Amino acid sequence: MSPTDEELVRALRGGHMDAFDALYDRYERRLYGYIRRIVKDPCAAEDLFQEVFLTVLRDRTYDPARGRFAAWLFMVARNRCLADMRRRRTREGLKGEVEARWRPPAPESPERLVGDASRVHAAIAALPEGQRQLILLKQLGELTYREIAGLLGVAEGTIKSRLHAATAALRRLLADGPPPTKKTQGT
């Protein structure tokens, strides 16, 4: 039986670097996927991913008595992503952010599965920021409603209704396709 996240955090605080490696291996794919879908730039996502794990290594604010490690980890990642987006927005201006957000989906692959994944990723990218965050926290982060509510500072019922609306919006986008981009509007 593998140790729990909380046991690994305690071992890490005791100086056992193998505990850090275990946490890194356990969350690498999910956390990077979450960050990558928020910031969209692979280089920035890699930098933010590394910053989050540096926080795990250096920061002592996680308290197992207050909730799951995964919820804390995704909260740190979300906060880093939002701070990065604010920095980018002020540096590049709102226009650049909007254009980057509405990129056309990648052309469909000959394999249906890859094409379907491409459509889903494009539809998620087309959701408004708040709805996209909820979908990613629930699906990629595998957080509970309660954990998401605590992370965002709202009631659990509010999270359920917002997630229901986000899921309905995602279904509409998948049925209708993502909104047209500047390049495809004039053609």
Q: Which residues of 52-91 are buried (b: 16+ CB within 10 A; e: fewer)?
A: bbebbeeeeebeeeebbbbbbbbbbbbebbeebbeebeee
Evaluate if residue 113 carries a pLDDT over 50: no
141's tokens: 């982060």
* Predicted confidence (pLDDT) per residue in 129-178, tens digit: 888 888 888 887 888 888 888 888 889 899 998 988 988 888 888 887 65
**Which DSSP string corresponds to 74-120?**
HHHHHHHHHHHHHHHHHHHHHHHHHHHHTPPPPPPPSSHHHHHHHHH
pTM of the entire predicted model: 0.60
Can you tell me the mean pLDDT for 31-40? 90
* Predicted confidence (pLDDT) per residue in 51-105, tens digit: 999 998 888 778 777 788 898 999 999 999 988 888 877 655 545 545 555 554 4
Domain boundaries 111-179, corresponding CATH code: 1.10.10.10
* Higher pLDDT pick, 70 / 114: 70
Q: Answer whether CATH 3.40.30.10 is correct for domain 1-101.
A: no
What is the pLDDT, as a whole number, of residue 141? 80
What is the pLDDT, as a whole number, of residue 182? 45
| Tokens 């926290």, residue located | 137
In whole angstroms, what is the distance from residue 187 CA to residue 2 CA? 56
Domain locations in the chain as residue ranges: 1-101, 111-179
* Higher pLDDT pick, 143 / 179: 143
Name the nearest CA neighbour of 158 among 168, 150, 149, 147: 149
C-alpha torsion sign, points 36, 179, 109, 121: positive
What is the pLDDT, as a whole number, of residue 31? 93
Evaluate if residue 7 carries a pLDDT over 80: yes
| Tokens 């379907």, residue located | 116
In whole angstroms, what is the distance from residue 75 CA to residue 33 CA? 14
